[in-house]
Structure 1
């Protein structure tokens, strides 16, 4: 069932993005009276699952879910229809249209992708608002368990002040990405500020250790349950541990050192139970464990216990517009920075490039519309940016040649465009194989 939910979200998001992207080409083509021969979701290599011709256009669904396409008459594309291109140009063909019209047709897809992302972010701001914890509320700093972060110089208890000079005012889902993309992070430790220079290959280092959140919330030591066979039956679910072996603790991460120092011993523990402090003896096993489950607290519970104050900012529809636009702009700039790192070999970021499995794995195994739209908006930006790369066979390649034609007044020959399309197609296949090869490699080595 979990696999079905993930697959459903993946296919729905992918189908929505492909259809809207291709509509971005289809609509201006029709407006400029350019014939569109095919409009397909997924690729119809050899055969189609569904197809129906309406007017001059065949609409269908292919069997290979690697994308989609519109086939525009008189355009040199992945179909490489040389027979049609050998015939005299016709008024309804792409090649017969003015350069500015061809440019609008080619930019239509990525334009729709970017507009879609901004619309989603505006809608999410209106529907869900903005929930966060003020960074200033982390009086005792944050939790650092990720080994790559520890190697970089971070410690539990650090307060994250800024990343690349940009002040971090809120603790939310974006904080990890801000750290990943930064060159230096300003922290406060034991009352004094210091700057940590991020390793240039930090993204590569992240892949070498067990995956965990870069920056986490320090949680209280709350018993969620006692394991079967545990000797510590004096502990009860919902007990809040306040002290271990005479040492007061506020967070679970403080307990680990105490337990490690008392392996195989019976020690006293003070817990808060039914609003009363109760002292109970516990036994620490040889591995420094108690045989209990920990956690299970929601953010609302943490707020009631006085650990953090959760803020939710709601927006009217008009207020949601600038909020959504800002969010979209930040995501667009952030993805641009990621691409720059991927094309910089020294960062090692190219090793983390993923294919369809990596995208599939982003989706959760439980259905959440908020998560679905968040991922879809990000994928829409990624699709738009990737299609703008100046690679023949991508929209960006066509745009590059059209801009050359508009500026120079000289149109590249059909033979040149055919050769460029072939080179771009080979390059695109190579990139596709590399990305999906990375997925396979990670699956084999378990990283």
Structure 2
């Protein structure tokens, strides 16, 4: 399911990105020869092109017929684009006539520029064409976020409403945190939002955190090495909500059901030891595997207990309530369409700022180890289909794609943007040969990054980190 979700998400992002280029190209009467979802090295799953007044289709094709080529078409059909689907699901492309990119070099261009070619257009039009993909990806993310708010609304768990506190990674435990602590302030700034607190811990290099521990407020002085340790150890998350052990249902052969427990029971002790968090209870059960144990719980506000023989796997055989709204006091906000639009824009911009800020981890000593490829992207999606999660992750990936594409590396849109801006400022256009060399260097660099990122994913899989 993760693979299917990733492919669908990337397909949406690639198509919208390339449509951004195509839209501006058509606006400025620039010919787009081919538009492809996925790469079509040696072979295409599908091709379509309109000429002679009707659409023509090819399936599982390796060689485009000569009758489809521009030189053999009527004048009114020469601007029509060939639409295709390749077989290598690593992206896609928009083949814009007269533009040096991954599809062609200076040697592939005609000696004389044509008025319908990219290179013949004014610099400001070329800047619009090359920026179109990034612009559409960014707008797509904002539209998706607005749609999410309009359809589902938003559920927010205020930081202090997690009544059992939080689970902390050993990195934070080494700094002086304890399981169950609730963050109150960081460097004197009060914290109310989970994501804000985690971002401040990781990116702001704080010196002091005040937490509620039991009935007291405790000050924790930090070492200043959090970012380095996170970069080296690559934890999935620094902190997570401690959730109660509330029974939702039972699996076949459940020992808990046989003992008389019911859905809605909230476990608060094992063998007389008070504990309410799932992590503590599951650890205690694992340590008591195969033994007779006593389980204390509340049912409808009334305390009760049962004794049972715990199976060898150390589990009660229950499914737990996982919806935050059923466990904590969650703030739900419904939006009208008009309210959802500014909320989506605000959330999208905030998410982009947070993502860009987090990239500083790449510049630490172990930064290269934090690069991730397709395995990392796939791990973002849940194992079961969830439309809310799918669209949320797709919007996030759209922001990542938009930002990554403006990095000024030849081969990315950012490289083309850089050279075009240079031309606009200096009034000197880089030569086609220079652009070809730059494109080749950029593609080599991007290939190296792709190998490193996916190599990291393979290593993470070997280490069981996915």
Query: What stretches of structure 2 of length at least 5 have no aligned partner?
Result: 51-76
Determine helix, strand or coil for the equivalent of 1:52: strand
Higher alpha-carbon deviation: 373-382 or 352-361: 352-361
Residue 24 of structure 1 corresponds to which residue in structure 2? Answer: 20
After superposition, where does 1:31-430 map in structure 2 within 5 Å? 31-54=27-50, 55=77, 56=79, 57-85=81-109, 87-144=111-168, 146-162=169-185, 167-171=190-194, 176=198, 179-184=201-206, 186-190=209-213, 191-195=216-220, 196=222, 197=224, 199-207=226-234, 214-220=239-245, 234=259, 236-238=261-263, 239-243=265-269, 248-252=274-278, 270-273=296-299, 276-280=302-306, 291-293=315-317, 296-299=320-323, 302-303=326-327, 308-342=328-362, 344-346=363-365, 348-430=366-448
Alpha-carbon distance in 2 for matches of 1:355, 1:237: 44
| TM superposition shift of 1:410 | 1.0
> Residue by residue, what CA displacement relative to the aligned partner does 1:77-114 show, whole Å, maximum 9, x if unpaired?
11234334351111111111111111111111100000
Determine helix, strand or coil for the equivalent of 1:427: helix
| TM superposition shift of 1:133 | 2.1
| TM superposition shift of 1:206 | 4.1
| TM superposition shift of 1:382 | 0.8
Higher alpha-carbon deviation: 190-199 or 116-125: 190-199
Query: What stretches of structure 1 of length at least 5 have no aligned partner?
Result: none
Tell whether the 8 Å contact from 1:355 to 1:432 is kept in structure 2 after alignment.
Answer: yes
Determine helix, strand or coil for the equivalent of 2:353: helix
Corresponding pairs, count? 431
| TM superposition shift of 1:369 | 1.2
Determine helix, strand or coil for the equivalent of 2:433: helix
Alpha-carbon distance in 2 for matches of 1:261, 1:24: 57
Structure 1 pair 422/327, CA: closer, same or farther in 2 (3 Å)? same
Structure 1 pair 198/414, CA: closer, same or farther in 2 (3 Å)? same
Structure 1 pair 178/53, CA: closer, same or farther in 2 (3 Å)? farther
Higher alpha-carbon deviation: 269-278 or 20-29: 269-278
Residue 5 of structure 2 corresponds to which residue in structure 1? Answer: 9
Alpha-carbon distance in 2 for matches of 1:408, 1:52: 42
> Residue by residue, what CA displacement relative to the aligned partner does 1:186-240 show, whole Å, maximum 9, x if unpaired?
3314322424445122333443x7x577222331475966996979965634443
Tell whether the 8 Å contact from 1:43 to 1:61 is kept in structure 2 after alignment.
Answer: yes
Alpha-carbon distance in 2 for matches of 1:326, 1:385: 17
Structure 1 pair 300/381, CA: closer, same or farther in 2 (3 Å)? closer
Determine helix, strand or coil for the equivalent of 2:434: helix
Tell whether the 8 Å contact from 2:242 to 2:278 is kept in structure 1 after alignment.
Answer: no
Alpha-carbon distance in 1 for matches of 2:297, 2:84: 64
Alpha-carbon distance in 2 for matches of 1:279, 1:254: 18
| TM superposition shift of 1:335 | 1.6
Alpha-carbon distance in 1 for matches of 2:385, 2:283: 38
| TM superposition shift of 1:246 | 5.3
Determine helix, strand or coil for the equivalent of 2:167: coil
> Residue by residue, what CA displacement relative to the aligned partner does 1:292-324 show, whole Å, maximum 9, x if unpaired?
246612447854xxxx21221111222112211
Q: CA RMSD in A?
A: 3.4
Alpha-carbon distance in 2 for matches of 1:109, 1:265: 61
Alpha-carbon distance in 1 for matches of 2:46, 2:158: 52
Structure 1 pair 247/84, CA: closer, same or farther in 2 (3 Å)? closer
Tell whether the 8 Å contact from 1:227 to 1:292 is kept in structure 2 after alignment.
Answer: no
Tell whether the 8 Å contact from 1:186 to 1:194 is kept in structure 2 after alignment.
Answer: yes
| TM superposition shift of 1:273 | 4.4
Alpha-carbon distance in 2 for matches of 1:261, 1:45: 55
